[in-house]
Amino acid sequence: MHRVKVVFGHLSPPNTFKSHSDPIVSGAECRALSASPDDIVVVHGLRTAFGKAKKGSFKDTTPDELLSCVMTAVLVDVGLSPERLGDICVGNVLQPGAGALMARVAHFLSEFPETVPVYTVNRMCSSGLQALFNIAGAIRSGSYDMGLACGVESMSLRDAGEPGDVSSRLMDFEKARDCVIPMGITSENVAERFGVSREKQDAFAFSSQQKASQAQKQGIFDQEICPVTTKFVDEDGSERTVTVTKDDGIRPSTTLAGLTKLRGAFKPDGSTTAGNSSQVSDGAAAVLVGRRSVVESLSLPVLGVLKASAVVGVPPDVMGIGPAYAIPAALRQAGLTVADIDVFEINEAFASQAVYCVEKLGIAMEKVNPNGGAIALGHPLGCTGARQVVTLLNELKRRGRRAYGVVSMCIGTGMGAAAVFEYPGP
Amino acid sequence: MKTFKFPARHGYAVEISPFIPTRLACATSQYYGIAGCGTLLVLEQTETGISLVKSFDWNDGLFDVTWSESNEHILLTGGGDGSLQVWDTANPLPGPLQVLKEHTQEVYSVDWSQTREENLVVSGSWDRTAKVWDLNRGGQSLCTLQGHEGVIYSTVWSPHIPGCFASASGDGTLRVWDVKTGRCRLAIPAHKAEILSCDWCKYDQNVIVTGAVDCSLCVWDLRNVRQPLSRLLGHSYAIRRVKFSPFNQTVLASCSYDFTVRLWDYSRTEQPLLETLEHHSEFVCGLDFNLQIPNQVVDCSWDETVKIYTPLCLAAPLPSAQ
């Protein structure tokens, strides 16, 4: 009696409509094209310049200082009182316990009121984006209306490599064992298994450097970077105060020939080199997120609309392929295709995996990281996701017309994350 | 008003022949389409009324009908058993010429493309898929389009863009498909309710109308679907079918579970509802404009009748929009 049910459905009051939901394709698909008061929107975002770890601009700066600087600047720019924030989530990877203490210290360095809470999240290289997902999720569930999603990492002061306490039995489980493979080796695995040549990797790395230097020269990053005034200890031990406004990892002088000469960094005959991998860096970023109805009622601008968010798992030994799986999942949610996206910010953990994902998804190379990526700018682990959101939305805004963009990255231990944003137009 | 009564059958869809302006077909079902058989009625409009030319029976309810665009004798229906039936009025035998069986649930819509070189047909089913068929090329579908999360109620070819059709679904979305790539080009969350019908404007390739269970009609410009161009309110129950006028860019007709047929001019911001016709005593499910007799409308209802008439609002010249 299915037909009776269907016809009765046509006669039922309109408010009983339930949108169909399939575990993979959520109701988000139906939201792809319309503005709703419940939309999760990005109001504003900023980042610090990125400094090369251990020798760059922030080698002597603690992460709470970097974080405090962006947190404050984002709210000051839009004139929002911190009391309006329902929560602050900070992506961090290397601090003990993902820097829960460091984040609260940053909060007070910013002179935010104690009544506003703060917490940290660690999903490795996607932590900055995960922070945004967490804030978005809590807004969507009605816990609060506005929140700050941040990411910060000092790779000068902390090293990756301390695995924590894991069972010795991990050796008995192939996938668990694969989780401790060094990231560089997972890059070699991707290059070997999927046939990404050294030439392609170097060409991609060269292009990243070129695009980033061009963007820096044209001042494209100026609108997204908030200056940080900090101390810097010179080689002779003398301390001075500097104001940092430029990424110091970008190398306009990089040549393809120079990249070709570099040796494998992780394996003697490997194709992953220091030149075609992401740089080890320090930096922070913050993104103000809110429910559209509240954002509009406060007369705040809408820089972007979060259309979809997805995190998926992939084999740990080729973790770099994460975006090739996360991006389709997010696009499916948004009801969009690769062709609908104007700009992809895909984190360049390694050229090998970035090239693989771009080719696998059939993305036109000119849509990928138009202002360069982590190979040139650096990859402060917990910060990267938030930085990509800031860079993406500023780029879409610069282009000046309504468009969609994607942020994605691979995640150590075998995952990928992706988000789809809409720039609603000027 | 001309009326044709067909006892023990309930009208689901009606369409006027693109070749013979007085010829029409009506897809009907026994027992309100809940169970039992279906009958395809081929009717002729005469000076004084409507007469039966031929009828074809099928062993499940028939929910939609479309005329061939290449052969005046050929019709296609969609049935409750998930099959499509090809009928030939010139064939003396009682059965269908061909039966296309791929859908796994009720076929609720069929539409014959106006691209003359090809005999493309699109069907929409409660199995949530739309299928495209080339009747020149045997009994297998060319492609199956998946994406809707609810049953499909309506599939209509664009009269302007080759290989493009729109579908309306119980999932609350209107989708626009490109048959060449087999992909959904646009998914519009058009209503927060089941959408039972859609139709393309005959004069503007970007304009489409949807009719839904929320009692509203929405007119969309596909270039900007943030909000509808117009939202037409007036029906008191779900809108079962909507059609754009072939003669006036902004006029459309809708029929509803509220037993009425309404005519609208969506360009009028003050009073878009032009007329309400209350000549049926049951759900009105089928509706069509005559392509060759200006402003003539035909409808069919669960009250076992087909009616042909010219709405007063269209008979007189339209008052200019506000």
A-chain residues within 8 Å CB-CB of B173?
29-30
Task: Catalytic residue, from A125, A150, A226, A357: name it.
Answer: A125
* Structural domain contains residue B320: no
As a whole number, mean pLDDT of residues B121-131 equals 97
Contact B238 A11 (CB under 8 A): yes
Q: Spell out which residues of chain B touch residue A22, defining contact as CB-CB under 8 Å.
A: 149
The active-site residue out of A44, A89, A379, A383 is: A379
Instruction: Report the 10 Å Cβ neighbour count for A362.
Output: 8
Q: How far away is chain B from the Cα of A335, in angstroms, using its nearest Cα?
A: 7
Q: How confident is the model at residue B295 (pLDDT cuts 50, 70, 90)?
A: very high
Residue A334 is inside which H or E element, if any? helix A322-334
A379 catalytically annotated: yes
Closest alpha carbon to A190 in A346, A360, A330: A360
The answer, yes or no, to whether residue B202 has pLDDT greater than 70, is: yes
Secondary element (H or E) of residue A310: strand A304-313
Q: pLDDT confidence of A30, banded at 50, 70, 90?
A: very low
Contact B213/A335, CB-based, under 8 Å? no
DSSP A183-202: HHHHHHHHHHHHT--HHHHH
Mean pLDDT of chain A: 93
Q: What is the pLDDT of residues A140-170, one digit of tens each?
A: 999 999 999 999 999 999 998 788 899 999 9
**In chain A, which residues have their Cβ closer than 8 Å to the Cβ of B172?**
17, 19, 30
What is the end-to-end Cα distance of chain A in Å, rounded? 52
How crowded is the C-beta side of B264, counted as CA atoms within 13 Å? 27
CATH number at residue B103: 2.130.10.10
Closest-CA residue in chain B for A23? Answer: B149
Q: Answer whether residue A305 is part of any domain.
A: yes
- Please say whether the beta carbons of A295 and A288 come within 8 A: no
Residue A376's domain comprises 27-156+277-420
Residues of chain A positioned with their CB less than 8 A from the CB of B32: 7
- Would you call B186 and A9 a contact, using CB atoms and an 8 Å cutoff? no
Q: Express each pLDDT in A224-253 by its tens digit.
A: 999 999 999 999 999 999 999 999 999 999
- Domain range enclosing B22: 2-315
Question: Is B272 part of any domain?
Answer: yes
Distances (CA, A) of A393 to A31, A41, B33: 20, 11, 52
User: What is the pLDDT, as a whole number, of residue A161?
Assistant: 76
Output the pLDDT for position B322.
42
Q: Is A226 a catalytic residue?
A: no
Asked if residue A271 is part of any domain, the answer here is no
Residue B163 lies in a domain: yes
Does the residue B47 lie in any domain? yes
Q: Please tell me the distance from the alpha carbon of residue B62 to that of residue B86, in angstroms, as a whole number.
A: 12
Q: Is residue A192 part of a domain?
A: no
Q: For residue A1, give how far its alpha carbon lies from the nearest alpha carbon of chain B (Å).
A: 7
Q: Is A236 inside any structural domain?
A: no
Q: What is the pLDDT of residues A363-386, one digit of tens each?
A: 999 999 999 999 999 999 999 999
CB–CB contact B189 A35 (8 Å): no
| Within-domain flag for A193 | no
Distance (Å) from the alpha carbon of A246 to chain B's nearest alpha carbon? 39
**Segment A95-121 mean pLDDT:** 97
Among B184, B194, B257, select the one facing A17 at the smallest CB separation.
B194
* Overall number of domains in chain A: 1
Using CA coordinates, name the residue in chain B closest to A36. Answer: B226
Is A360's pLDDT higher than 50?
yes
CATH number reported for the structural domain that contains residue A304 in this entry: 3.40.47.10
A395/A405 Cα distance (integer angstroms): 9
Confidence check: pLDDT of B179 > 70: yes
Inform me whether the pLDDT recorded for A77 exceeds 50.
yes
Chain B positions touching A302 (Cβ under 8 A) are none
pLDDT, one tens digit per residue, over B146-178 is: 999 999 999 999 999 888 999 999 999 999 999
The structure's pTM equals 0.59
Domains of chain B: total: 1
Q: Does A33 contact B188 at a Cβ distance shorter than 8 Å?
A: yes
Mean pLDDT on A303-325: 97
Residue of A3, A32, A35 with shortest CB distance to B34: A3
Check pLDDT > 60 for residue A25.
no
pLDDT of residue B319: 56
Q: What is the mean pLDDT of residues A177-206?
A: 96
d(CA A54, CA B308): 84
The predicted pLDDT at position B182 comes to 86
Work out the mean pLDDT of chain B and round it to a whole number.
Answer: 93
Note the pLDDT of residue A416: 98
For residues A12 and B232, which has the higher predicted lDDT (pLDDT)?
Answer: B232
User: Could B151 and A35 be called an inter-chain contact, meaning their C-beta atoms sit closer than 8 Å?
Assistant: no
Question: Is B230 contained in some domain?
Answer: yes
In a domain, A412, yes or no: yes
From chain B, the residues in CB contact with A33 under 8 A are 186-189, 225-226
Q: How far apart are CA B225 and CA B246, in angstroms?
A: 23
